[in-house]
Amino acid sequence: MSGEIISTRQRLINAAMELFSAQGITETTTKAVAELAKVNEVTLFRQFGNKQGLLLAVIFESPVFKELGESLKTQASQTASVYQALKDYCEERITALEQVPELVRSLVGEAGKYPVENRQALGRSLTQANHYVAEYLATVMEREQLQTQLPAQKLASLLNSMLLGYAVIELTSEFHELWHDRDEFLENLVALFLQVAPKSANQVNNESIPIEKVIDLPANLVHSILQRAKKSGLRDYALMYVLFGSGLSSEEMVNLERSQQINDANQHLLQITQGAIRQVPVNQWIMGKRYGSYIRNPLTQWLKSRKDDHSALFLNDDGMPISEGEIQEHWRILTQGLLTPEGQQPIIEQAQQTWCVEMLMKGMNLEDLSIITGWSRTKLQPYARRAREKSALEQAIRLDNKPQ
């Protein structure tokens, strides 16, 4: 049965890719996709929700994004130098973009016609890809003891923008004479990044290095998200509870299995077996509010409600292991209309940032947090800075409330 579901999903994605490429995304209807895939249109809606969900699946499962995170982790551990790391990444991404030229042209050429949902879907895909690349760059640069004038996230944004710009120009124009060939472009791009971005540690001396901004979410906003999730259903409530209560990324969550949950009256842990192998706590207290106990909370209630024998900790509406894209879509829906103090809709990465800052605020030191998160102390420095900022603010408020 599961093979049949996977086959149906893949046929729909293949059909959508074919039609999007041939006639454009705007002109392609869900009915046409279903007919080409030889399934009922209702099946398409059951699998993807709507056309926007289908587009998101096509983007995530295209060669540009598919398995990007895992491939970059492998590259980061095997590549001998920053130069080779950058060149390998750039070469692979350009090759992937060149495999879907019609889709690239359609995404760019029709962008002005898309409803906001389509543009949001593309934006989320690019953001997720950028997150992977930032992790990749940070890993390689830390290994070679390089400091940067810009944080890894900003470097990744610039690099991806240049690669996407190259693909758009190459696939939509002729005789531009901006570069001789792809090899020349890659050589110049990598040389530019190595010249203006990184510095070796012994060159830094006492220069101040900008710290990557951590934007954690305030307690009332976190509570609102969890309350919305509670009303949405046990699965959504459990998803948000694990995001805010354990500090895991969506990538780590999709790999969790039931057997990796360890709980009793005194603790609730999750065993992480992908990436940095470790155990993480699932906290019953989140931003000053208690969400059940170690043995009875949103996650244990979700698992208790299930009637299936599937090993995955989280399932989608079709009873299959949930994907990163689906977790991000649930987050988008649950946070729609909510605004951060900066006036933006919360993004899923802020749940992990909020958890890290909260752990530091509660007294955890950087060494212990490094063990729990699998991150380096260098990566955690901005979180320590943010925790100190919040502590200083709390102290100022206490002083203001102190009787004169």
Q: What are phi and psi of 133, to 5 degrees?
A: -65, -40
What pLDDT, on the 0 to 100 scale, is given for residue 103? 66
Residue 200 confidence (pLDDT) above 50: no
Residue range 2-60 forms a domain whose CATH class is mainly alpha
What pLDDT, on the 0 to 100 scale, is given for residue 198? 44
What pLDDT, on the 0 to 100 scale, is given for residue 70? 56
pLDDT band per the 50, 70, 90 thresholds, residue 9 = confident
The dihedral through the CA atoms of 46, 49, 50, 53 has a sign that is negative
Which architecture characterizes domain 68-204 according to CATH? Orthogonal Bundle (1.10)
Q: What are phi and psi of 77, to 5 degrees?
A: -85, -20
> What type of residue sits at position 251?
E
What pLDDT, on the 0 to 100 scale, is given for residue 352? 94
Query: What does the pLDDT average to over 34-41?
Result: 91
What pLDDT, on the 0 to 100 scale, is given for residue 212? 54
Residues 286-307: tens digit of each pLDDT: 999 999 999 999 999 999 999 9
pLDDT band per the 50, 70, 90 thresholds, residue 120 = low
Higher local confidence (pLDDT), 285 or 3 = 285
Q: Which of 26-35, 261-270, 276-285 is predicted with the least confidence, judged by mean pLDDT?
A: 26-35
DSSP letters of 238-274?
HHHHHHHHH---HHHHHT-BGGGEEEETTEEEEEE-S
> What type of residue sits at position 72?
L
pLDDT band per the 50, 70, 90 thresholds, residue 74 = low
Residues 160-171: tens digit of each pLDDT: 788 878 877 887
Secondary structure class of 117 (helix, strand, coil): helix
Query: What does the pLDDT average to over 354-364?
Result: 94
**Rounded to 10 degrees, what is the CA torsion of 182, 185, 186, 187?**
120
Higher local confidence (pLDDT), 204 or 234 = 234
pLDDT band per the 50, 70, 90 thresholds, residue 93 = confident
What pLDDT, on the 0 to 100 scale, is given for residue 49? 83
Residue 364 confidence (pLDDT) above 50: yes
Most confident of 131-140, 185-194, 232-241, 366-375: 232-241
Q: What is the mean pLDDT of the chain?
A: 80
What pLDDT, on the 0 to 100 scale, is given for residue 210? 38
Q: Which of 329, 332, 312, 330 is CA-nearest to residue 321?
A: 312
What pLDDT, on the 0 to 100 scale, is given for residue 156? 77
Query: What does the pLDDT average to over 117-122?
Result: 63
**What span, in angstroms and rounded, lies between the C-alpha atoms of 67 and 255?**
13
What pLDDT, on the 0 to 100 scale, is given for residue 301? 96
Q: Which residues, other chains included, contact 101 with Cβ-Cβ below 8 Å and sequence gap of 6+?
A: 171
Higher local confidence (pLDDT), 66 or 333 = 333
Fold equal for 68-204 and 219-401: no
Higher local confidence (pLDDT), 168 or 282 = 282
Residues 142-166: tens digit of each pLDDT: 766 665 566 777 777 887 788 878 8
Q: Evaluate whether 241 touches 327 at the Cβ level (below 8 Å).
A: no
Secondary structure class of 291 (helix, strand, coil): coil
Percent of the chain with pLDDT over 90: 36
pLDDT band per the 50, 70, 90 thresholds, residue 114 = low
**Rounded to 10 degrees, what is the CA torsion of 126, 132, 138, 143?**
-150
What pLDDT, on the 0 to 100 scale, is given for residue 2? 45
Q: Which of 130-139, 190-199, 345-354 is predicted with the least confidence, judged by mean pLDDT?
A: 190-199
Domain boundaries defined on the chain: 2-60, 68-204, 219-401
Higher local confidence (pLDDT), 170 or 396 = 396
Q: Which of 182, 137, 150 is CA-nearest to residue 163?
A: 182
> How many contiguous H segments (helices) and E segments (strands) does the chain have?
19, 7
Higher local confidence (pLDDT), 102 or 76 = 102
Q: In which residue are the tokens 């502590």 written? A: 391
Query: What does the pLDDT average to over 36-59?
Result: 83
Which architecture characterizes domain 219-401 according to CATH? Orthogonal Bundle (1.10)
Query: What does the pLDDT average to over 77-105?
Result: 70
